[in-house]
Structure 1
Amino acid sequence: MKILLIDDTLSLLDEIKDILLMEGYEVITATNGFDGLGQVSSKKPDVIITDLVMPEMNGYKLIEKIKSIDKFRSIPIIVLSAQAAKEDKDQAFALKADKYLTKPCPATVLIDAIEEIRSK
């Protein structure tokens, strides 16, 4: 399974990438929504994990763009963000995010979310 991981905090990006690689996933990374959108087009991931607060293009705009493109609409999106307010979650789900996890997130919770999406 190919996962696109998008986060502008490089230390966190590397940490999550290492965890996913140890679990046997193929991992592609991007540091903002704009680069992430390019990776979606070129690499066609099976799952996208994205932060919300990023430069260039935030996670909300990224989700909105991905879900507006027919050939990418079905790619599941997991939001992994420090934004824990109900409004943030509601907005992400309104844009058709599939899961919403808040940072810090235990690795087991993230892996369980990926596996749950995978089994759908």
Structure 2
Amino acid sequence: MNFITTGEAARRCGVGINTIKRWMKKGELKYIVTPGGHWRIREHEFRTFLKTHNMDLLQEKEHTSEAHKILLIEDDLDMCALVEGAFDAATFNHTFDYAKDGYSGLIKLGLMQPDILILDIMLPEINGLEIIQRIRATDFHKKPKILVITGAGDRRLVRRALEKAKPDMILDKPFAVEDLIHATQKVLSSTSAVAAVNE
């Protein structure tokens, strides 16, 4: 079952997030609350809402087709909640999903074919460096751009390995959510193979 965020619903309706939340509170748009406290709307209920209110379905479909697909692979649940919350409030059109370990992350990577992969390095099952190597070696229909988020700091071995792996950008933890959104948009808009690191 597919769920969408309030931010995505707002973009697809062409209204502000507060308008979406007002419709939710009034009971006009059904939603659930995740264990992390995020509001989510079932895709089929969102489409029912659009039909009921005679909204422009063609425009809604165009919004969906243009959405950037973002996948996060991160085992820290607090960090997952932070990143998910950041993209909930983001103003550009996107869909978002995450995985909590390298193995399930690779599966979602193949199924989702994201435009950008936001990747932690220290992961259970398969670490982030190995995931980058597999992406480079695999004939994906569309290889995702890679934004690494890491708490490795000044660990020389990790930094050297990252420099060799050549992700599109590296963002050091801790970071502000505004920096994450800016970095994501910069990587998505970059036409070069490797964007500037930590700019």
Whether the 8 Å CA contact 2:119–2:149 is kept in 1: the answer is: yes
Q: Tell me, what secondary structure is at the counterpart of 2:109? A: helix
- Rg (Cα) greater in structure: 2
User: Shift of residue 107 of structure 1?
Assistant: 1.1
Among 91, 101, 110, the alignment partner of 1:41 is 110
Summarize the alignment of residues 82-93 of structure 1 with structure 2, pairs less than 5 Å apart.
Answer: 82-85=151-154, 86-93=156-163
Cα distance in 2 for residues equivalent to 1:73 and 1:26:
17
Cα distance in 2 for residues equivalent to 1:78 and 1:68:
18
Q: Select between 37-46 and 64-73 the one with higher mean Cα deviation.
A: 64-73
Identity %: 28
Q: Tell me, what secondary structure is at the counterpart of 2:97? A: strand
User: Shift of residue 72 of structure 1?
Assistant: 5.9
The residue number in structure 2 matching 1:99 is 169
TM-score, normalising length from structure 1?
A: 0.91
- Specify every segment of 5 or more residues in structure 1 that has no aligned partner in the other structure, as ranges: none
User: Shift of residue 73 of structure 1?
Assistant: 6.9
Counterpart code for 2:70: I
Cα distance in 1 for residues equivalent to 2:78 and 2:149:
15
The residue number in structure 2 matching 1:28 is 97
- Specify every segment of 5 or more residues in structure 2 that has no aligned partner in the other structure, as ranges: 1-67, 191-199
Cα distance in 2 for residues equivalent to 1:43 and 1:51:
18
Cα gap change, 1:72 to 1:106, in 2 (>3 Å): farther
Cα distance in 2 for residues equivalent to 1:17 and 1:7:
11
Whether the 8 Å CA contact 2:71–2:116 is kept in 1: the answer is: yes
Counterpart code for 1:113: A
User: Shift of residue 119 of structure 1?
Assistant: 1.3
User: Shift of residue 109 of structure 1?
Assistant: 1.3
Whether the 8 Å CA contact 2:135–2:143 is kept in 1: the answer is: no
Counterpart code for 1:108: E
Cα distance in 2 for residues equivalent to 1:106 and 1:116:
15
User: Shift of residue 93 of structure 1?
Assistant: 2.9
TM-score, normalising length from structure 2?
A: 0.57
User: Shift of residue 70 of structure 1?
Assistant: 2.2
Cα RMSD after superposing both structures: 1.6
The residue number in structure 2 matching 1:112 is 182
Ranked by relative contact order (alpha carbons within 8 Å, sequence separation 6 or more), the top structure is 1
Cα distance in 2 for residues equivalent to 1:112 and 1:60:
23
